[in-house]
Amino acid sequence: MSGEAAAAQIERVARSIHRRGLTHGRTGNLAIRDGERILVTPTGVNLGEVEAGELSVLDAAGHHLGGPKPTKEAFLHVAMLRVRPDLNAVVHTHSLYSAALSCLDGLDEERPLPPLTAYYGMRVGELRLLPYFAPGDPAATAAVEDAARAGHALLLRNHGPVVAGVDLDSALDALEELEHTAQVYFITTGHPTAPLTAERLAALTSRTPSERTPPA
């Protein structure tokens, strides 16, 4: 993918995220691998107003190479892409139901959300809950890297989701599925549920990342 195409993809997906109400105000950020560089949304930008020509450019280690100042959470994206060479894009939002889930007490760090639907199993699979870190605190780097080795979807405690994919569209698909399943979880709380069994999950997740995003 050319640099221009990667930048255009960030603009398109960022605006789509804003249109769908998956973030609010000037929250949320995106990144995409562009050869040896990483393009990331700048600090303080509403995702509905992201411009392809106004993106921050980082090297693979997260050093700022050009463009406006990057989001203070750029290190989240850099950490995930560093340990997941099979993935090329990361989406982070403060989506309502996922953020609400991250605030609940007593969550299982290795399974903070039950696999209630097949599409959650296919598009999200493993979800890990990270301990609380203040937004922008690079001390979270090691925790992000460890969790990303186990799966491509993370939930930052008292914060929101971080999801990677082979491209921004698949990362967004997975993030939306996480948000939808979190909503289903809250709606069904207090009622008996039948999450997918380990066997059914295994049948869904024994596919490549691209195979886990079938058409509806």
| pLDDT range class, residue 100, cuts 50, 70, 90 | very high
Grouping H, G, I as helix, E, B as strand and the rest as coil, residue 76 is helix
* Known catalytic residue at 119: yes
| Residue of 11, 54, 109, 119 marked catalytic | 119
What single letter denotes the amino acid at residue 39? L
**Order of strands, edge to edge, in the sheet holding 160-165?**
64-66, 56-59, 37-40, 29-34, 89-92, 160-165, 153-156, 127-130
| pLDDT range class, residue 207, cuts 50, 70, 90 | low
**Which has more confidence, 216 or 46?**
46
Q: What is the pTM of this model?
A: 0.89
What does the pLDDT look like over 63-82, one tens digit per residue? 999 999 999 999 999 999 99
All structural domains of the chain, each given as residue ranges with its CATH number in brackets, are 3-208 (3.40.225.10)
Classify strands 127-130 and 89-92 as parallel, antiparallel or unpaired.
Answer: unpaired
* Known catalytic residue at 185: no
Percent of the chain past pLDDT 90, that is, above it, reads 85
Q: What are all long-range contacts of 43-47, with beta carbons under 8 Å and residues at least 24 apart?
A: 43/68, 43/69, 43/70, 43/71, 43/72, 45/71, 46/18, 47/14, 47/15, 47/17, 47/18, 47/23
| Residue of 4, 11, 36, 73 marked catalytic | 73
- Residue 96: φ, ψ to 5°: -55, -60
What does the pLDDT look like over 33-58, one tens digit per residue? 999 999 999 999 999 999 999 999 99
